[in-house]
Amino acid sequence: MGSIGDKGEELAVKFLKKNGYKIIKRNYRTPTGEIDIIAKDGDKLVFVEVKTRTDSLFGHPVEAVDYRKQRKIKTAALHYLATQKKEMPARFDIISIRIGPDGKTIEHLKDAFEGP
């Protein structure tokens, strides 16, 4: 496994599966942006942004998902939805992971920001 981001995404996938989510796609890329994880939670489609940090030097991981990043995720989500032939409710979540000398902390923020 390469980067800290890759490790964080792996931890996020395990966390989501353990909590009953079905992983649909990872690292969905479009010309305008990327979605780390697309999953199903019951009847909802969930677009998940994963942020991983090893220290707080750059602030809390969630702070990295600013308005500009949210807009890119929303545009990528619209692209994904346009490729699907059915409509379903969707939401945007953020999984914040801190990996440090004392272990790891995973926070899951459901409905972290509004859709398009």
User: Percent of the chain, pLDDT > 90?
Assistant: 55
Confidence of residue 1 (pLDDT cuts 50, 70, 90): very low
Q: Which amino acid, 64?
A: A
> Domain coordinates of the chain in residue numbers?
4-113
pLDDT over 90 at 6, yes or no: no
What tokens appear for 89 in the block? 């409710």
Q: Which CATH class is domain 4-113?
A: alpha beta
Calculated CA dihedral for residues 5, 45, 34, 7, nearest 10 degrees: 10
Confidence of residue 56 (pLDDT cuts 50, 70, 90): low
**DSSP, res 15:** H
Q: Which amino acid, 103?
A: G
pLDDT over 50 at 108, yes or no: yes
So what's the pLDDT on residue 116? 65
So what's the pLDDT on residue 3? 84
pLDDT over 90 at 66, yes or no: no
CA distance 5 to 23: 18
pTM: predicted TM-score of the whole model, two decimal places: 0.89
